[in-house]
Amino acid sequence: MTHHKAAYIEQIISHLAKELQQAMAAASEAHAAATDDQSVAETQYDTLAIEAGYLAHGQSQRAYEYQQGIIAYKALAKSLEEHPHVEEINLGTLVQLSEDEQLNKWYFLGPAAGGFSFKVHNFTVTVITPQSPLGAALMGKIVEDDIRLTLGSRQLDDYISQIA
């Protein structure tokens, strides 16, 4: 099976760009609400403008994180062009665990957008980050290494069947 990581990264960047647009629009709306004449406090208990200000800040922070994710994926794409061969799991590696072979499910270790999934032909790719429990457990491993991980009340005992 051939994996086209550049196409996967473009799909992830496209997802992040859509999220960025939504976050920027939400931040703009919240900023407008915070500075609107209707939001001026009439009593000491009137907190509409303050709440809208906090919301605007949070949305701006989300937008910044999406921007940083896009930058990180562009840098990763360049790095993968320069170093296409994978020996151990690190950023930019596709990983399949033995339990996921039947489902044709893969994990893509990326710098951002953890949890984002997409379908390619007859398999599913889910983005995980090194900050996630599974991502942290996979970093530096090679094919046939064991993975033992506790996720909430569930114990994951598996091994790495393929990397690309």
Residue 46 has pLDDT above 70, yes or no: no
Distance CA 109, CA 38 (A): 46
What is the reported pTM?
A: 0.84
- What pLDDT does residue 52 have? 74
Better pLDDT: 157 or 39: 157
In degrees and rounded to multiples of 5, residue 121 shows phi and psi of: 50, -115
Please state whether 156 falls in left (phi above 0), alpha (psi between -120 and 50) or beta. Answer: beta
Residue 143 has pLDDT above 70, yes or no: yes
Q: For the chain, what are the domain ranges?
A: 5-82, 94-163
**Residues with Cβ within 8 Å of residue 45, at least 6 apart in sequence:** none
Q: What's the token pair of residue 12?
A: 């992830």
Residues 94-137 have pLDDT tens digits of 999 999 999 999 999 999 999 999 998 889 999 999 999 999 99
Q: Give kind and range of the element (H or E) at residue 15.
A: helix 5-35
